[in-house]
Amino acid sequence: MKKVISVLAAGAMMMALLAGCGGSASSADSSGSAASSAVSSSEAVSSEAASSGEASAPSSEVADAARLEAIVAAIEEVNEVANPRAIDDFSLENEMGLTPDNIVAFCGDVTNDQADCSLVFAAQVKDGAADTVKAELEAYKESMSSTLYADFADKVAKAQDARIVVKGNLAVMVIAGVNGPDYSEIDTAINGALA
């Protein structure tokens, strides 16, 4: 009898473990996965609120993931991200220090190569949050150039020159790769992508 109970308890714990792991996305997904992850996260919150009976304010801001993916792709044609890792919800909040409540959707890649520092990030921000998001991106830029890359002069120089551009409800941040283009090419790519 004790063996049957032990087997049932172990089976129940295994099912709980599998249920907890079932919805995660691989970090090796394409750059578009970050945008769809951000969109699906906000949709999940809305449906949870609806199912729990809570009233939620209707959103007039519809995520434009395709536009964000196009912006990132256009900039990465000029500034290729070496060994890219998609920026996900965790990276957005815990690495970049951005407030998720200010973001409608986002997309981007950061290098997973220790010898490089390239990053391309685009976000659709909520109405009235552009200045806050820009300030948070400036703080992230400062942290990279003062602490994160402190032992690597080439990375510090690239991070200090990082581009942060806000146009309407779009915010873009780009750090050139160590062996990447100069920032004049990146500036042209950003302007073209945001046109």
- Please tell me the predicted confidence (pLDDT) of residue 181: 84
Structure tokens at 29: 């997904």
Window from 46-50, 87-91, 136-140 with minimum mean pLDDT: 46-50
Mean pLDDT over 53-76 rounds to 75
Question: What length is written for the chain?
Answer: 195
pLDDT tens, 124-143?
999 999 999 999 999 999 98
Mean pLDDT over 12-25 rounds to 44
Q: Name 121's bridge partners.
A: 108, 173
Q: Name 86's bridge partners.
A: 109
According to DSSP H, which parts of 22-129 are helical? Answer: 32-51, 65-78, 89-90
Percent of the chain at pLDDT > 90 equals 51
pLDDT at 56 over 80: no
Higher pLDDT, 115 or 131: 131
Q: Give the phi and the psi of residue 178 in degrees, each rounded to 5.
A: -55, -40
* Nearest-angstrom CA–CA distance, 157 and 149: 9
DSSP 180: S
Mean pLDDT over 15-23 rounds to 43
Please, what sign has the CA dihedral across residues 23, 25, 31, 34? positive
Contact present, 132 and 170 (Cβ < 8 Å) = no
Question: 166 pLDDT band (50/70/90 cuts)?
Answer: very high
Angle between helix axes 183-194 and 65-78 (nearest 10 degrees) is 160
Question: 3 pLDDT band (50/70/90 cuts)?
Answer: low
Mean pLDDT over 103-115 rounds to 93
Beta strand 103-111 pairing with 163-167 = unpaired
Q: Mapping DSSP to helix (H, G, I), strand (E, B) and coil, where does residue 105 land?
A: strand
* Nearest-angstrom CA–CA distance, 74 and 177: 15
* Nearest-angstrom CA–CA distance, 75 and 84: 14
b/e for 33-50, b at 16 or more Cβ within 10 A? bbbbbbbbebeeeeeeee
Beta strand 84-86 pairing with 119-125 = unpaired
